[in-house]
A and B are shown apart, each in its own frame.
Chain A
Amino acid sequence: MAARQNRMILDQCEIPGVRSLAVARRYGAYNALAKALTTMTPDQVVEEITRSGLQGRGGAWFGTGLKWSFMPKEPRVESFLCVNADESEPGTCKDRYLIEKNPHLLLEGVLIACYAIRASTAFIYVRGEMWEGMEVLETAIRELTTANLCGKNILGTGFTINVHVHPGAGAYICGEETALMESLEGKRGYPRNKPPFPAAYGAFGHPTTINNIGTLGYVPWIINHGADAFKGIGDPNFPGTLIYQVSGHVNRPGLYEAELTVTLRDLIEMAGGVRSGHQLKAVIPGGTSMPLLTADELDTVMSPASFAPRGSLKSGLGSAAVIVLDDTCDMVDVALNMMRFYRHESCGQCTPCREGTKWVCDMIERIHRRRARPGDLEVLEQVLVNVGDIDRFEFNKTICLFGVSFGWPLTMLIRKFRSEFEAAVAESTPAPVPLPAPASVLPDGDLRAP
């Protein structure tokens, strides 16, 4: 039996005119905020969210309530909430939809989260390309301020929350939470080393909680309906729903919201199946940073439970961006397309990723142009392992997870479709080894003054 969607979030986005505060309030928006502010203490909100089992929808599935509980109860300096709307994982498109369709759903979650962690300032870090989303959010915040739902003395409770929308500059790495904070501070988006964790030393050195904007969309529902109701939805270990973004070679690509018991096969079916006349070849389950699954792994339940660390699948749910590839896909093409993205988006802070992205990309480019040399594939696999070893996660070599984000999927891609790569190498005319670059020591006159 085909699984059905549970559209607890998406249905709220499809109410006509729900972008405006008036319409949103008619459908119950900000009732949860009023309830939290007037009848609950911050700790009770944290407790409620903890009990509900809500987990971060950004891909890490960290307990939201647990994360909030790390924040200082009696802060010596102001605490901040950072909302991650820098959605840029290839294939991922849920946050943009939510923001543009129903900003008030998210903003209510933001305000409740601020109350729970005792923060009076929230920064919504929006991906630089999402101009419409930013405008929608800013308009919504203006409406809220006018209606005294945001700003000073909200609803007469004496509580102050200011919400700022901060545009990113279009770098993928700024979706990594510590790079996001660096970028927010006006610095280069370089991920930080952890520890210290953001709850102790976050944005501007203040205690900070970083939540994915999609996660906060569930918060008003939980406050309204109670933790137990939320816990009863779907898998009790991973309660609630998830918006799966199905793209690629399916008949009806789009957003499909379902409980976390849905299988990959169900999702593809919901999306109208693989386009007619073609066979499914592979599926990327959670954005290109997650290793792909093959046609015989379609019965995988699309829940973090199936993708346990060091599990046999060697993949991950990621951001639940399901990219379906049919038999027209050349896997060398796929590898090159992915790798060009990662070469462009590496921040270049730490060595393995900065040097590895270009090296790997150069090699795949050569294989793609059929100019590979014998032995290239082995070197390629070894370099990928040197950046992010899929078999030994505890030996990760980079500061953030960008290294493994291309090391793992490409390693698995080559492992699972090795014959295609071998064929490409076999039909190659080996490229000559390039001459060394000219010496860097130039005569005085040739030095370019700054």
Chain B
Amino acid sequence: MPTMVIDGREVTAPPGANLIEAAKLAGIEIPHFCYHPALKVVASCRMCFVEVTQEVRGKPTTRLTTACNTPAADGMVVRTDTQPVKKAQNDILEFLLINHPVDCPVCDEAGECKLQDYAFAYGTSSSRFAEHRRFRHAKKLGSGIRLYTNRCILCDRCVRFLRDFVGTGELSVTDMGNGNEISVFPGRPIDNVLAGNLPEICPVGALIAEDFLFKARVWNLRPVDSVCPGCSRGCATFLDVKDNEVQRTRARENQAINGYFICDDGRYLYHVIRHETRLEHPAVREGDQLRESNWDHALDVVVSRLAESPERVVILLSPFLTEEEARAGAHLSRVLHGSVPGHVPNALREAPVSFPGGFAIDGDKAPNSAFVQNMAPVPLQDLVVTKDTVILFFNSSLRIGSVSPRDAEILRRAGFVAVIDVLWNDITALADVVLPGRMWAEKSGTFSNSAGMAQSFGAAVLPPPLTRDESDVIMDLTQRITTRISTGGGAIP
């Protein structure tokens, strides 16, 4: 463990750490553009200069060096605030800004732009550059990514990410010297499921996601810690909220699960929250039609069917439920007939994907399968379902098709099906009572990923007004049923 002094503070860095990481441990920020902890170090932006004093052949030698490719070593004395360091930082910023359009007022990156932040912190307010600026057209690179070429500082992060981390290598630097430009090969646009990370990796506003283009100024966004419900990997995310709408999803660093990135499936999943098929009111079947209803009536219909013969009730849980909801569902099942609930396994499965950089996408496209199967071990296909069976199915699936056709057929056999769901889908179509639930962004809860790691998340946006939290509905049902059973199954007043 090398011990050194950075700006007068003694720091012990883990072996192999560079000076940027070591300084971070001491709470000192060394500005940098091209360095990214998940990518190969190239030391090309030259922003992270520090002054290092070290013994070379028995003589203390002071030199200016880049912190990102200098490993922390015992006995180093590092200064990040001397005049030569400040001058170097100022010089580099001047160089980077001479061809930058400084179009911050119309740039989506403004507010989280390193160039902007560093220009304020380490730069000067005026430029000595009075030549013609380089001008390049913006271009679409594929996968919903645009390159605002003028803003690019050629830090190379995107190229290294696609080449070394993702392994697809669509981007490369073309031309030479001052003409360097990030490009795709003709007819070979960016085509991979991690492309949505590019705007996050880009330290400036050069790579912009079309999904977020001109949507919001980032300082108006409220980030909420969340967990991606897209698959059993459970990547940590931020949901950035403005005007009660999720504006975008960003990766939240979690070294145990997703590192610094998330996949595009999870990134753009937030659109389901305001999807046109969103279930927004309770509905009760009248004949062969589902009619809009209110919660009191709908719950009473459900409770009266459940109370008729509790032993014939089957409680079903889906892997889209949170841990809290699954527990409440199991409790309800115990109250009704003393046995555990069943589960409807997620039918959406793909081959798992992993990338050279270590990122992995799980094949199971539901967030909480492991936990729900633990709470409700019996799958639907092993349960006896007849025309006398009353089914209460807590589905709340974010994806159409998560119930397999065979399981749907079994459900169709039952005498009565009540379903709590968030979207109009093939299951709500066969149900007798449909109750609108809430999505992950609208409630707090916990998901356990396929490796058994539990992560909790908070509510980011307010739900549609007539929806209710699944736990809340289960609680309400439990209460109504206990009352009904204890009062001897009297008629509904």
Contacts and interface: CB of A to CB of B under 8 A. Distances in A.
Interface stretch (A253-261, A315-323, A338-346): A338-346
Interface in B254-294: none
Interface residues of B, number: 63
Given A437-B133, A449-B140, A347 B101 contact: no
Contacts of A349: 42, 44, 156
Given A373-B130, A397-B46, A351 B153 contact: yes
B45 A348 contact: no
A362 B99 contact: no
A352 interface: yes
B183 A348 contact: no
A358 B178 CA distance: 6
Interface of B: 41-47, 49, 61-64, 66, 69, 84, 88, 91-92, 94-96, 98-99, 101, 103, 106-107, 128-142, 146, 148-151, 153-154, 156, 172-173, 175-180, 183-184, 186-187, 189
Contacts of A344: 176-177
B43 A399 contact: yes
A348 B46 contact: no
Given A363-B131, A394-B64, 4 more contacts: A350-B43, A386-B91, A439-B103, A448-B138
Contacts of B46: 350-352, 397-399
Nearest to B170: A450
A77 interface: no
A396 B151 CA distance: 26
B323 to A, nearest CB: 44
A1 interface: no
A355 B178 contact: yes
**Central interface residue in A373, A398, A440, by most chain B CB within 10 Å:** A440
A447 B144 CA distance: 13
Nearest to B45: A351
24 contacts: A193-B43, A348-B154, A351-B47, A351-B95, A351-B96, A355-B98, A359-B98, A363-B131, A366-B131, A386-B95, A397-B64, A397-B91, A399-B46, A434-B130, A437-B150, A440-B103, A440-B136, A440-B148, A441-B138, A447-B140, A448-B138, A448-B140, A450-B141, A450-B142
Contact of A440 (B150, B186, B189): B150
Contact of A399 (B44, B103, B132): B44
A357 interface: yes
Contact of B137 (A188, A348, A366, A442): A442
A158 interface: no
A354 B101 contact: no
A373 B136 CA distance: 27
Nearest to B88: A397
Contacts of B151: 440
A171 interface: yes
Interface of A: 171, 188, 190, 193, 343-352, 354-359, 362-363, 366, 373, 379, 382-383, 386, 394-399, 433-434, 436-442, 446-450
**Central interface residue in B62, B63, B128, B134, by most chain A CB within 10 Å:** B128
Given A379-B128, A397-B64, A441-B103, A348 B176 contact: yes
Contacts of B189: 450
A357 B177 contact: yes
Nearest to B97: A355
A450 B138 CA distance: 10
A394 B84 CA distance: 11
B138 A440 contact: yes
B19 to A, nearest CB: 14
B146 A447 contact: yes
Nearest to B87: A386
A348 B91 contact: no
A116 B41 CA distance: 33
A359 B177 contact: no
Contacts, number: 153
B131 A362 contact: yes
Q: Which 9 A-B pairs have the closest CB atoms?
A: A440-B150, A346-B177, A348-B180, A355-B95, A362-B131, A358-B178, A386-B91, A437-B133, A437-B135
Given A397-B46, A397-B64, A434-B132, A441 B106 contact: yes
B45 A450 contact: no
Contacts of A171: 176
**Central interface residue in B129, B176, B187, by most chain A CB within 10 Å:** B176
A129 B244 CA distance: 63
Nearest to A430: B130
A225 B134 CA distance: 58
**Central interface residue in A366, A399, A439, by most chain B CB within 10 Å:** A439
A356 B131 CA distance: 12
Contacts of A346: 176-178
A354 B177 contact: yes
Nearest to B186: A450
B178 A343 contact: yes
Contacts of B47: 351
A350 B64 CA distance: 16
B186 A439 contact: no
A352 B92 contact: yes
A183 to B, nearest CB: 13
B478 to A, nearest CB: 53
Contacts of B184: 450
Contacts of B134: 358, 437
A343 B42 CA distance: 22
A157 to B, nearest CB: 40
A349 B160 CA distance: 13
Contacts of B41: 193
A223 B76 CA distance: 44
**Central interface residue in B66, B146, B177, by most chain A CB within 10 Å:** B177
A436 B44 contact: no
Contact of B63 (A347, A350, A354, A395): A395
**Central interface residue in B136, B142, B151, B179, by most chain A CB within 10 Å:** B179
A193 B43 CA distance: 7
Given A350-B45, A397-B91, A449-B139, A434 B178 contact: no
A438 B150 CA distance: 10
B131 A359 contact: yes
A181 to B, nearest CB: 15
Nearest to B174: A188
Contact of B101 (A343, A382, A396, A436): A436
B96 to A, nearest CB: 6
A440 B139 CA distance: 10
Contacts of A447: 137-140, 146
Contacts of B44: 190, 349-351, 399
B403 to A, nearest CB: 40
B195 to A, nearest CB: 13
Contacts of B135: 437-438
A347 B177 CA distance: 4
Contacts of A348: 154, 173, 175-180
